[in-house]
Amino acid sequence: MIKTPAYVFDIDQLKKRIEVIRKEISGLPLTFSVKANSFITSTVSEMVSHVEVCSPGELDICKRLQINPEQIIYSGVMKEEEDIREAIRYCTHILTAESKNQFKLISFLAAKEDKDVNVLLRISSDNQFGMDPEDICSIVCNREKYPNICLYGFHYYSGTQKKQLKQIEADIQRMMGVIEKCRNEYGYKPELVEYGPGLGVEYFKENGEEIDLELMKTAAPALMDLAGKVPLGIEMGRFIIAGCGIYYTKVKDIKNNYGIQYAILDGGSHQLKYHGQMMAMQTPVIVQQECREGERQKYQLCGSLCTVADVLAKDVELDELRIGDVLEFHRCGAYSVTEAPGLFLSRDLPYIYLRENGKDQLIRDFKRSSEFNTPDFQLR
């Protein structure tokens, strides 16, 4: 029996998605980005070549889960000295360098720890992430000055929710411009080019799975063509995990205010967040567990927060709702569980379940967020 509010992550669905991805980009190593959903990291690590962490906290999660350090790529625009030192001591397989300063710090600490470190140079996509091609070429040109650094290759990621092939093609053109310059002018050939295509996920249509897979088929030839030119690895987070998550929430109150029917739920926008949805302007896929005969009715589905912004869906047609009914919000496996502002109003954090072979396993009980919102000492 699922307690609410709760997230359930379906491992069987996850496996199917990875199988489909592998079919389209056969033979390419796959990396899972932990920030998309840390709760399935242990499971998904058995299905991919690498897991990418972007913070010292995510590295700590991997250590707690005993993820093989040889699988870890440590990315992230801001790495402090203690973060890099800890990653090196943990024998993290690859660190990315986001700037010349960060590269020099990694090199300094590698020498100090007397360890060789694999480094990917991140190519900027014209934002705060990564390095300008001029800085990358400067490092490649002088790579022999850094004896404890193995320049392992390049990293490129320009953003998420790409739904057009021309966006992928623009990425490839920018990447290859830098890679070819380093090869032609400095004789450098990478061992790995880690690319996150940021394929889009359809959240708000019933045939979202079908739309996603069609996008994968469209992008696959360009990715395979790129793999013929460089040793390519594909990093994904959202596209791997989005479809395997369901958020369960229970109806706690029903009322009619000025002709509008409201259903008050035990969950809310502090726990559920879809990319591209603001103030319920779009409606995700919602399944009503308790089906009833009769004319369907329209409801505003509101959460448990004391703010008018806590609306999960507007004008949703459902069978007549009753207090105690459970609603399922689908395709929320990526980001939502940690991206939503869970500490707001000190509501308890949701239960977390894994579902496999039809069986549900509770992997995180409810947690009182009030513990995080209370001072550690009392000012007097």
Q: 161 and 233 share a domain? A: yes
**End position of a domain, from candidates 217, 242, 267:** 242
At 380 the pLDDT is 57
Pair (69, 121) in one structural domain:
yes
Asked if 54 and 147 sit in the same domain, the reply is: yes
pLDDT tens for residues 59-83? 999 999 999 999 999 999 999 999 9
pLDDT at 201: 97
Residues of the chain with pLDDT under 50: none
At residue 276, the pLDDT reads 85
Cα–Cα distance for residue pair 377/369, rounded to 1 Å: 17
Give the per-residue pLDDT at 338. 96
Same domain, 251 and 218: no
CB of 318 closer than 8 Å to CB of 288? yes
Question: Does residue 207 share a domain with residue 146?
Answer: yes
Long-range contacts of 93-96 (CB under 8 A, 24+ apart): 93/50, 93/69, 93/118, 94/50, 94/118, 94/119, 94/120, 94/152, 94/192, 95/119, 95/120, 96/120, 96/121, 96/122, 96/155, 96/194
Last residue of a domain, one of 222, 242, 262: 242
One domain for residues 218 and 298? no
Q: Which of 190, 218, 242 is the C-terminal boundary of a domain?
A: 242
Residues 200 and 335 in one domain: no
Tokens, residue 280: 């319920």
- Between the two ends of the chain, the Cα-to-Cα distance in Å is 46
Domain interval for residue 26: 11-242
**Same domain for 198 and 54?**
yes
Give the other-Cβ count within 10 Å of 365's Cβ.
Answer: 10
Assess if residue 3 is contained within a domain. no
Residue 86 belongs to a domain: yes
